Amino acid sequence: MEDLILKKEISDRRLFGEFWTARQRQSHSLHYAVSYRASFKPELPSFFFSEFLTKKASVVMDPFGGRGTTAIQANLEGHYAIHNDVNPLSIFLAKSRSQIPSKDSLIKTLKNVDLSSKPKEEELDEALLAFYHKDTLREIKNFRNFCDENSSPETNFLKLVTLSRLHGHSPGFFSVYSFPQVSIPAIQQRKNNSKKGILPEYRAILPRIESKLKRDLADSLPPFYHEFSGKNQYYLSSTENMDQIPSESADLLVTSPPFLDKVDYKNDNWIRHWFLGIPDEQTDKISMFSSIDEWTNFMTNTLKSSARILKRNSYLVIEVGEVKKGKNVIPLDDYVVEAGIRSGLTWSRTYINTQKFTKLSNCWNVDNNEKGTNSNRCVVLQKI
């Protein structure tokens, strides 16, 4: 009997529905300036802002900030953001969008760049030539040097746009045919090139940057955007130790942690790290876990340190997916609930976003939902 009551209580706290759209690229163009592995849709934080924020100009925090989806959406909706991540790449991706220059000033900056000089040879040249024609690589290096020597909101934004063009599968990218979100190892790229019978051809970078920046800035910004983005806080720290972020300073947390070892943020971004000059040792602290116990301990510590930063009664929304390990599927949301309770937080509910095609006849029925994709599971915890 007690078991039945517990099961009922658990199922009452699981909400199924299409809470935010499953359609691609429906949000502000600024979000799509750069792609990032395992980023969530801007509609996800937006949904939780409307669920849990009671006033404008609130403070939203994302401790695993990634490409800055939460922070940018917060600013677009008139809130401040605290963006934290352990990878300097993430801080750059988010911060470079805190000050958005005008299209005209960006294009004017591009016109002043001279890409003709011969840049210094670098250790990674050989690997990079698996992706780029030598003249394209020369242009990329010269452009990076120009941006570094003339640091400004314009060059920061242009660097961001450049990051998004480094490799991909269409002629809009600088590289030979490759993957847009993952920097594969050079050896793998060489194999792919010879299998396809292709070699990197020259791709002029400036026109590609210009046409991409026009797409990124296609949507106009709300007039209040900079008022909020200008006061964002950016922190480079591991979530287990965020001591430099003031206590009780955030009204809501929306985040998505690494899913065990599903994404290798260090190696998958090696070309972006090279372009930004991020040394290897600065990406060593990115967490990856092979066991669920280790992950749950990490999440317990993360939730404890996050709870300190949140105001009393605020909510923490943690998005996780189901992770396949061998033949087993690990429902990470259950472990987040466990970690939350261990950290002294209260489990409020879990939202399971279902896509249109999964249309459930009975949206409360867990078994039914197994037919659909359950990849977006958002555990909501509360600091009481």
Ligand X SMILES: C[S@@+](CC[C@H](N)C(=O)[O-])C[C@H]1O[C@@H](n2cnc3c(N)ncnc32)[C@H](O)[C@@H]1O
3-state secondary structure 290-357: CCHHHHHHHHHHHHHHHHHHEEEEEEEEEEECEEEECCEEEEHHHHHHHHHHHCCCEEEEEEEECCHH
**Using CA of residue 46, residue 47, residue 50, residue 52, what is the dihedral sign?**
negative
> Residue count at the site for ligand X (CB under 6 A)?
20
- Residue-wise DSSP of 215-236: HHT-SPPPTTHHHHHTT-EEEE
Burial class (CB in 10 A: 0-12, 13-18, 19+), 136: buried
d(Cα 360, Cα 369) in Å, to the nearest integer? 7
64 part of the interface to ligand X, by CB under 6 A: yes
* Minimum distance of ligand X from residue 66's CB (angstroms): 2
Q: Is 67 in the site for ligand X (CB under 6 A)?
A: yes
Length of the chain: 384
Q: Is 265 in the site for ligand X (CB under 6 A)?
A: yes
Residue 69 or 314: which CB sits closer to ligand X?
69
Nearer to ligand X, 90 or 175 (CB): 90
Q: By rule CB under 6 A, what string of x and - marks binding of each residue 274-313 to ligand X? A: ------------xx--------------------------
* By the rule CB under 6 A, 225 interacts with ligand X: no
User: Which residue among 72, 74, 76, 86 contacts ligand X (CB under 6 A)?
Assistant: 86
Determine, following the binding rule CB under 6 A, whether residue 109 of this chain makes contact with ligand X: no
Pick the piece of the chain touching ligand X (CB under 6 A) from 22-30, 38-46, 138-146, 192-200.
38-46
List CB contacts of 319: < 8 A, sequence separation 6 or more: 40, 44, 254, 255, 256, 376, 377, 378
Q: Does 256 bind ligand X (CB under 6 A)?
A: yes
Residue 150 CB contacts under 8 Å (≥ 6 apart), including other chains: none
In the bound state, the residue with its beta carbon closest to ligand X is: 66
User: Residue 161 or residue 332: which is nearer to ligand X going by CB?
Assistant: 332
Binding to ligand X by residue 258, rule CB under 6 A? yes
Interface contacts to ligand X, rule CB under 6 A: 36, 38-40, 64, 66-67, 69, 85-87, 90, 238-239, 256-258, 265, 286-287
